Every structure is written in C-alpha cells, then in structure tokens.
Amino acid sequence: MGIYTSGFPILSLLTYLPLAGAIILLFFGKERTDAIKWFATLVVGVDFALSIPLWFAFERGAGAPLFQFRETIDWIPALGVKYSFGIDGIALLLVLMTTLVGLIAVYSSFSAITHRQKEYYILLLLLQTGMIGVFCALDFFLFYVFWEVMLVPMYFLIGIWGGTRRLYAAIKFFLYTLAGSVVMLLSILALYFFNGDGIPFLNIPGLGAENTFDILRYHEIGHLIPPTLQFWIFIGFFLGFAIKVPMFPFHTWLPDAHVEAPTAGSVILAAVLLKMGTYGFVRFALPILPDATRQLVVPIVVLSIIGIIYGALVSLVQKDMKKLVAYSSVSHLGFVMLGMFALNPMGLSGSVLQMINHGISTGALFLLVGIIYERRHTRLISEYGGLAKQMPVYATFFLIAALSSMGLPALNGFVGEFTILLGAANRSIVWAVFAAVGIVLGAAYLLWLYQRVFWGPLDNPANQQLSDVNGREILTLVPLVILMFWIGLAPRPFFEIIEQPVQYLVEKVDPDYLKKERIVYPELPAAADERHAELLPVEENR
C-alpha cells in the first residue's frame, strides 16, 4: 500500500502496463496461442490487481484533495503541454471498471477468437492503455491524444474479428467518433487562446496567462468566458461527447458497431467507451462552461428523453438479441444524460453511478449473448425458446443481468435510476414522468426477451444439445453479478466516493443551487422503498 501514497506514478504504471505487455506479445510466436492468451490475461490481471488498492488508498472526506495520485511533468513546454495525471472519485470508479472489464474481455475471448489471435490480444491491450489514459489525463492535450489513440485498436477489433458487416461498422465507428473529436479539438484550442493571448481577430481578449492545457486551470477560469464564446465552445464539446455517448440523434453508429463487434469488443464498447462521452461532459463541459450548460439544459434534456424512449421502443421490436441490448444502451445512456443535466447533486451522483451500472449490466448482457452465440451461431430471438430447461445456470445469470438492467430493487440499476429520477423530479416533474415511462418500457423489452428465449417449450432441436455455461464463462460473469448486488444493496461506499466531486461540480455549474439551501443530500436508498416517502416531500417543496 505504501507505494500508493508515496507519490509513486501508479496511474502511469496502470496505463502503460498493458502497452508494455502488448510490446512483449509482439515477440511471441504466432502459433503459440495458449501462451499468448495466458500472457495477455496475466497482464490485464496484474493491471486489475494493481488498480484495486486505489480504492482503499483514495482519501475520502472533507479535507481530502479532489484529485489524487497526481503526476505532473513537462511534456511539450513550448506549447504549455504537461504530462498530467490524476483521478477524482468519478475517474477512480471508471478506472476500476476499465481494468475489471479489460480482464473480463480478455478472459472471455479464449474460445470466441480463433484466428489471428496474437494481433487480437495485442490490440485489446493497446485499447486498455488508451482507455485508462483518457480517465487519468488532466491535461487537454494528453487527454486528446489518448482519446484518439483508443480509436485505432477498436477499429481493428471490429474490422477484423467482427460479423459480416464488420468493415462498414468499423469505419462508421471510426469516422463518427473522429468527426466529433476533431471539432472538440477546436473547442479546446479556443479555450487555450482564451486563457492566453485571446483571439484578437474576433475581438475576444484573452486572460494573458501563461499558455497551458491544464484542465484544472480551465475549471477555475471557466466562468470568466463570455457566454457567446462559451456557447460555441460547448457546441464543439457537445459534438465530440454526444456522438460518443451516444445521444439521439448521433447514435446511429452504435447499433452497427455493437452488433458487428466481437463479444469482448461489445463489452468494452458498452462498459467503457460510451462512458467516455458522459465522462467528458462531467469533466469538461459542465465545470468549464457553466453558463452554456445552464443555457442548453432544456434541449439536451429533450434529446435525452427522446433517447430514453426511442431507444426503448426500438429495443422492443428487435429480432436480434445483440441489437436489442445495443439499443437498450441508447435508452440507458439517455438516463445518464438526464440525471447529469438535472445539475443537482442527486441527479449528478445518480448519473455517475448509472455510468458504472450500465457498464456492469450491459457488459454482462453482451457477455451472455456472446456465450449463446458461440454455441448456436445465431442471435435471432426466434431461434430460441425454453432455454431455461436446457441451460438453467445460464438462464439464472441472464435473469439477474436483465433485472439489473431494468432497475429492479436490490440490484444496481434501481439505485442509479431512482437517484436520477429524484434529481430530475427536483427540476421538473415532467422530466421524471417521461423517464419513468422509459423504465416501464425497459422492463417490457427485457422481460419479453427473457420470456421468448428462456420460457416456453424447448422445441427447436438445435437447442436441445446446448451445454450450460462452463467454468470459465461463470468466472467472467461472477464478478459482475457480485457488483450488481453490492451496488444494489449497499451503494453507500460508491456514493461516498463520488460525493465530493459531485459537490464540486454543482458548485461550478450552478453555484446558486447550493445557496438556496434546498439541498438535501439523500440518504440513498438501499432497496428500501419506505425511504422514498421521506424523500419525496422534500422534492415537492420546490
């Protein structure tokens, strides 16, 4: 534990360990597939093991620094670029999820990937470096580098090991994300000049400060930016992040990428890559551009609600299981955005927790769909029926994942969605009503899916030979199930760790909110319905 508190660059170690592993893998013989698999597992396993102590070493409470495990050295002094790492509670959770999902992704690929295995594991490791780097970076330039670096391995993962329309899906994924992120780059540059010499040709005076890409510096000066400039910078960020989230109507790349990607790719996409969009909003758009954020709350909430309901409705009519889960992501991420743009502590903390929840539940669902696909090579719902008799353990796992995804109390999804609803209702009861419709629809498409696949007669002869999940598959699912129950039953530690960053965000984005002393930081529900009654009257005071 000592190294976690002694200023040792632990975040860099976490980030570059997979990269080092990938480089070592280059020297493995192509045909030594077992050695390659186990080495890759070892690397991500060590990475995960090294990340766990972060949870314990992270200082909580009032006096604790917001960003911890800081590392800062000059990288490109001529431009004011620093190599700067550090995480707050939000990033900590995302980093932990990344290392866990990275491990699961590698381990779950053992039997699914049968050709070009060496390249596959190298790319998975590179991807992990990019993902962890994005969450740790506290310098815009560095952040942008990791953000783009991540695209390339994901492109190859979809393009080489994907389904039949993999080339189309891969390039669509790449171009959509790239188009968004280059526009984001322009926004970053505008911020950079505002801090520095200004943009004289547009009559925007700068602050004349030393050139820097330090994100925390921009947190401090964000409110000084004139509203019009904030608006345009926000639009740039919005395009970059909304495409990644993905928000309606920028979501069209997602079903293609999800459906065509190999299972591990889908899991990583759902659990981590989509979170980069929401993380981007939380880390950059909200604290740096508070005026623009408040100004654009309504359009963004409208898009989120459309996303929630549209995603759910489209899920309802899917014939392909994987596509169903993919569209359900659009709906769930709509919740995350809705909670975030409630701009109050409840909405924001629910939003952050729901990022994690969605990663866990949807990740598990993609794994489960992958398991059955490996056996039957079809994902059509109509091909199945009555699987509960043939694969009882599988059916149990699927049920838990589905219930968690639809937000059943005692499981993680409930805590997140409920907190988001509270936050949204605090702003406007109408938002909460629409969101609640989304929850109902969510229950509908997941239960209907479950009914069609697992109940009824086992009449398809192809399904009668199916074997239940094996030990390795159970091992990939168990950690996710444990987390579902943990967050569902005892979410307190999770709320505690994000309390401070959420408070900070609210102070930045809506300082007036706190002054009204209306804030009742919720004793968050642990599947205890009676507590809702205590909380709701507080909301109605508004």
Partner 1 sequence: MTWTDTILLIPEIVLTIGACVLLLAPVLGMKEQSPAAKWVALAVLGATAAAVVYASNAGETIGGTGAFHRMFALDGFAIFFKLLFIGAVALVVLLSNEFLREEKYSHWEYYSLLAFALTGMMFMTSGIHLISIYIGLELLSLSSYILAGYYKDETKSTEAAMKYFVLGTVSSAILLYGLSLIYGVCGTLQLSEIRIALAGLVANDALVFGIVLLAAGLCFKVAAVPFHVWTPDVYVGAPTPVTAFLSTASKAAAFAIFARIFYSALPDFRLDWSALLAAISALSMIVGNLAAITQDNVKRMLAYSSIGHAGYALMGIIAMTPLGLHGVLVYMLVYVFATIGTWATVLMLRRHAYAGESVADFEGLHQRAPFHAFAMVVFLLSLGGIPPTAGFIGKYFLFAAAIQSGWGWLAIVAVLTSAISIFYYFRLVVAMYLREGKAAEVMTSAPLRFAIAICLAVTLGLGVLPQGLIAQVQSSSRTIVATLVP
Catalog residues that contact partner 1 under the rule CB under 8 A.
75-79, 144-145, 148-149, 151-152, 155-156, 159-160, 166-167, 170-171, 174-175, 178-179, 182-183, 185-186, 189-190, 192-193, 197, 199-202
Cα(506)–Cα(341) distance, rounded to whole angstroms? 11
Query: Least distance to partner 1 from the beta carbon of 147, Å?
Result: 9
Q: Using the minimum distance from each CB to partner 1, give the nearer residue, 147 or 397.
A: 147
Buried b / exposed e across 268-290, counting CB within 10 Å, b at 16+? bbbbbbbbbbbbbbbbbbbbbbb
Cβ neighbours of 101 (radius 10 Å): 26
CB of 189 to partner 1, least distance (A): 5
Alpha helices in 283-344 (DSSP H): 286-288, 290-295, 297-316, 321-340
The residue among 148 and 499 lying less far from partner 1, judged by its C-beta, is 148
Contact status, residue 244 vs residue 273, Cβ threshold 8 Å? yes
> What per-residue string of b and e applies to 488-524 under the rule 16 or more CB within 10 Å gives b?
beebeebbebbbbbbbbbbebbbeebeeeeebeebeb
The DSSP letter of residue 210 is P
Is 41 or 252 the residue whose CB approaches partner 1 more closely? 252
Q: Which residue has the tokens 């599988």?
A: 394
Q: Which string of DSSP letters, residue by residue, matches 98-139?
A: HHHHHHHHHHHTTTT--SSHHHHHHHHHHHHHHHHHHHHB-B
Closer to partner 1 by CB, 276 or 477: give it: 276
Upper half-sphere CA count for residue 193 (Cβ side, 13 Å):
16
CA distance 523 to 531: 8
Let me know: does 373 contact 320? Beta carbons within 8 Å: no
Nearer of residues 179 and 458 to partner 1, judged by Cβ: 179
Give the residue from 484, 506, 503 showing the smallest Cα distance to 495.
503
Of residues 186 and 216, the one with the C-beta less far from partner 1: 186
CA distance 239 to 97: 25
CA of 210: how far to CAs of 76, 77, 284, 379, 387, in Å?
Answer: 14, 11, 20, 56, 64
Looking at the Cβ atoms of 23 and 440, the one nearer to partner 1 is 23
Q: Which is nearer to partner 1, 135 or 156 (CB)?
A: 156
CA angle 423, 424, 427 (to 5 degrees): 95
Q: How far is the CB of 273 from partner 1 (least distance, A)?
A: 17
Pick 24 or 186: Cβ nearer partner 1: 186
- Closer residue to partner 1 in complex, CB, 20/475: 20
User: Min. distance of Cβ 160 from partner 1 in angstroms?
Assistant: 6
Q: How far is the CB of 492 from partner 1 (least distance, A)?
A: 40
Distance CA 195, CA 105 (A): 41
The minimum distance between CB 82 and partner 1, in angstroms, equals: 12
